[in-house]
Chains A and B, each alone.
Chain A
Amino acid sequence: MRYLPKSDAERAAMLREIGVSSIDDLFTAIPEEYRLTRDLKVPRQMGESEIIDYFKAAAEKNAQAYTSFLGAGAYRHYRPVIIDSLVQRGEFLTSYTPYQAEITQGTLQAIFEFQTMICELTGMDIANASMYDGSTGAAEAVMMAVRVTGRDGVLVAKTVHPEYREVMHTYAQHQGHEAREVAYYPDGHAQAGRIDLEALEQAVNEETACVLVQSPNFFGVVEDIPVIAEIAHKKGALLIVSIAEAVSLGIVRPPVEADIVSMEAQSFGVALSYGGPYCGVLAAKEKYLRQMPGRLVGETKDRDGRRGFVLTLSTREQHIRREKATSNICTNQALVALMATIFMTVYGKEGIKELAVQNLAKAKYAADRLGAHDKLLFGQSPRFHEFVLQTEEPPKRLNARLMEKKIIGGLDLCKWYPELGSATLWCATELTTKEQIDAAVAIVAEISVASAAR
């Protein structure tokens, strides 16, 4: 087998040296009744070209060359080519967790840069080296707030990604901090699509550990963070802001009033890859440092006064605290965080803003054009690059017509927000062209024209 660097002669020689007559002598600890005496029923060994053929055939059964208006927590942005050139270097790809700092300064310095850039983008003081993704990051942020405050009341906006809320519910089981959901203002209200501040104010009390909102939220609407922060802080609760679209921070003001930010950094150069691996990260105010889960890289000096970087504050983590750890997390998303680090370095201070503004412009154009034929919900409130369209035509039929022209339309919201009726969530990024938007509009308009003509 081509991954195994031994000849049969070498194996035989090694067995002799060990003093056994066959390899099975080294497996005698396994009780005989449990020893497999047959081949595993997996596909036979394939040559490399066959492996590639297999996956190419599978890839072809996935969407190829479709225009997509999908967002909803996973965003299609351009991935600069140098990201893969760099992360595929063996020294990054096949390196281990940097526990031995002297021979992993490459990884450690890159993480230090990542932590710095996340702080700059989010307005927080400290950031960790990554969590699994935005959904589990949000759940861990809630657990962090519960630890910090010693309270167990949790309030979560209904406009937080539905799957994130499901994950938070799974994590909260047996931890005694089930979340209560807070409604949003309906369409027509001055702050339509944003969290209902009166409802929030009513719900926050001295038992509330945290309020968790997403901004831009699942509808694409940007929340009024300063006002929400005040409501939470008045009663001593922490504010957690979950960010599913990292690119928004190029043009949307950072949630500086938050105590904890849980972000999904997939938009920063991470392929969509059917849902993962992505890149969660937690950032927070300095005073919560010791309750922060996940790895942290710190700057220090070596014996000769040279600057170096090292994993630090490990006493928070599972390998030392064991059952009293801040989290059980060990393996994180390091290589994916490196992709995000390179992306943020490529775009830089100016580029991240330019990129965000392009996204804003594309979505505005799409919303204006689609909104001319159908109803744009929550249009009164500020939004980034997603919007909700309410159509007379049922989403299933609308999207079927779009698919005939190789367009994947907005996400049908009925299973999560049935109160919105025939509603779909649309996203346009810097990669969505005017042509593509116009083509989609034309198809959507066909039926609107037909029904208007009746």
Chain B
Amino acid sequence: MAYPQNYRYTREHEWIEVDGKTGKIGITDYAQNSLGDIVFVESPKVGAAVKKGEVFGSVESVKAVSDLYSPITGTVIEVNEELASAPEKINTDAHASWIMKVELSDPSEVDSLLNAEDYEKFVAEETGS
């Protein structure tokens, strides 16, 4: 699987695409594959504060719920409305389906996240492949 080079990743399988002081956040292809058919995405409200490492929402499949952990600290400036009626977009293209846009309060936090290569290695270890 090719993980976008310009994204950064967490060990909880979220990705972030940083653009200056804002970032788009979603879940990786590995995550959507493990979850199976996604039926619902619980997103935060615009204006909500998110903290690095803390839960900001969740993703549901028919038989499971997965908490989503924020890669960085900041404020939610936009939420992907499309996912409310078509959560399956995450299954079809996880890396293009952002869940929330955040204004970063501390851009340096991104430095401690995994890059594409390290994330791919991490996934390989997890799956034992």
Interface residue ranges, A against B (CB under 8 Å):
290, 314-315, 320-321, 324
Shortest A319–chain B CB gap in Å is: 9
| Pairwise interchain contact A314-B62, C-beta atoms closer than 8 A | yes
Kindly list chain A residues whose C-beta atoms are within 8 Å of the C-beta of B60: 315
Q: How far is the CA of A324 from the CA of B66 in the complex (A)?
A: 12
A–B Cβ pairs within 8 angstroms, 16 of them: A290-B40, A314-B62, A314-B63, A315-B39, A315-B40, A315-B60, A315-B61, A315-B62, A315-B63, A315-B64, A315-B65, A320-B63, A320-B64, A320-B65, A321-B65, A324-B65
Q: How far is the CA of A86 from the CA of B61 in the complex (A)?
A: 36
Q: How far is the CA of A2 from the CA of B63 in the complex (A)?
A: 41
Q: Mark B21-65, 1 if CB is under 8 A from A, else 0.
A: 000000000000000000110000000000000000000111111
Interface residue ranges, B against A (CB under 8 Å):
39-40, 60-65
Q: How far is the CA of A30 from the CA of B64 in the complex (A)?
A: 36
In the complex, which of the residues B40, B60, B61, B63 has the most CB atoms of chain A within 10 Å of its own CB atom?
A: B60
Q: DSSP class of B's interface residues: helix, strand, loop or mixed? A: strand
Given contacts A315-B62, A320-B63, A320-B65, 10 further A-B pairs with CB under 8 A are A290-B40, A314-B62, A314-B63, A315-B39, A315-B40, A315-B60, A315-B61, A315-B63, A320-B64, A324-B65
Which residue of chain B lies nearest to A312 when distances are taken between CB atoms in the complex?
B62
Q: DSSP class of A's interface residues: helix, strand, loop or mixed? A: helix
Q: How far is the CA of A290 from the CA of B61 in the complex (A)?
A: 14
Kindly list chain A residues whose C-beta atoms are within 8 Å of the C-beta of B65: 315, 320-321, 324
Q: How far is the CA of A315 from the CA of B59 in the complex (A)?
A: 10
Shortest A293–chain B CB gap in Å is: 16
Kindly list chain A residues whose C-beta atoms are within 8 Å of the C-beta of B61: 315
Q: How far is the CA of A324 from the CA of B62 in the complex (A)?
A: 16
Q: How far is the CA of A373 from the CA of B103 in the complex (A)?
A: 75
Kindly list chain B residues whose C-beta atoms are within 8 Å of the C-beta of A314: 62-63
Kindly list chain B residues whose C-beta atoms are within 8 Å of the C-beta of A321: 65
Which residue of chain A lies nearest to B42 when distances are taken between CB atoms in the complex?
A290
Q: How far is the CA of A244 from the CA of B57 in the complex (A)?
A: 37
Kindly list chain B residues whose C-beta atoms are within 8 Å of the C-beta of A290: 40
Q: How far is the CA of A315 from the CA of B64 in the complex (A)?
A: 6
Q: How far is the CA of A321 from the CA of B64 in the complex (A)?
A: 8
In the complex, which of the residues A290, A315, A320, A321 has the most CB atoms of chain B within 10 Å of its own CB atom?
A: A315
Shortest A430–chain B CB gap in Å is: 45
Kindly list chain B residues whose C-beta atoms are within 8 Å of the C-beta of A315: 39-40, 60-65
Nearest 5 CB-CB pairs, A to B? A315-B60, A315-B65, A321-B65, A320-B65, A320-B64
Q: How far is the CA of A267 from the CA of B61 in the complex (A)?
A: 38
Q: How far is the CA of A311 from the CA of B63 in the complex (A)?
A: 11
Q: How far is the CA of A290 from the CA of B39 in the complex (A)?
A: 12
Shortest B116–chain A CB gap in Å is: 31
Shortest A236–chain B CB gap in Å is: 15
Shortest B26–chain A CB gap in Å is: 20
Q: How far is the CA of A320 from the CA of B40 in the complex (A)?
A: 14
Kindly list chain B residues whose C-beta atoms are within 8 Å of the C-beta of A324: 65
Kindly list chain A residues whose C-beta atoms are within 8 Å of the C-beta of B62: 314-315
Which residue of chain B lies nearest to A324 when distances are taken between CB atoms in the complex?
B65
Kindly list chain B residues whose C-beta atoms are within 8 Å of the C-beta of A320: 63-65
Q: How far is the CA of A314 from the CA of B63 in the complex (A)?
A: 7
Kindly list chain A residues whose C-beta atoms are within 8 Å of the C-beta of B63: 314-315, 320
Q: How far is the CA of A324 from the CA of B58 in the complex (A)?
A: 12
Q: How far is the CA of A321 from the CA of B63 in the complex (A)?
A: 10
Shortest B88–chain A CB gap in Å is: 15
Shortest B56–chain A CB gap in Å is: 15
Which residue of chain A lies nearest to B65 when distances are taken between CB atoms in the complex?
A315
Shortest A400–chain B CB gap in Å is: 59
Shortest B41–chain A CB gap in Å is: 11
Q: How far is the CA of A290 from the CA of B65 in the complex (A)?
A: 13
Which residue of chain A lies nearest to B59 when distances are taken between CB atoms in the complex?
A315
Shortest B118–chain A CB gap in Å is: 31
Shortest A369–chain B CB gap in Å is: 58
Kindly list chain A residues whose C-beta atoms are within 8 Å of the C-beta of B64: 315, 320
Q: How far is the CA of A320 from the CA of B60 in the complex (A)?
A: 10
Shortest A126–chain B CB gap in Å is: 15
Q: How far is the CA of A314 from the CA of B40 in the complex (A)?
A: 12
Which residue of chain B lies nearest to A325 when distances are taken between CB atoms in the complex?
B65
Q: How far is the CA of A290 from the CA of B40 in the complex (A)?
A: 10
Shortest A310–chain B CB gap in Å is: 10
Shortest B47–chain A CB gap in Å is: 14
Kindly list chain A residues whose C-beta atoms are within 8 Å of the C-beta of B39: 315
Shortest B43–chain A CB gap in Å is: 13
Which residue of chain A lies nearest to B62 when distances are taken between CB atoms in the complex?
A314
Which residue of chain A lies nearest to B67 when distances are taken between CB atoms in the complex?
A324
Shortest A157–chain B CB gap in Å is: 32
Q: How far is the CA of A314 from the CA of B62 in the complex (A)?
A: 7
Q: How far is the CA of A290 from the CA of B57 in the complex (A)?
A: 14
Shortest A148–chain B CB gap in Å is: 13
Q: How far is the CA of A315 from the CA of B62 in the complex (A)?
A: 7
Q: How far is the CA of A292 from the CA of B60 in the complex (A)?
A: 16
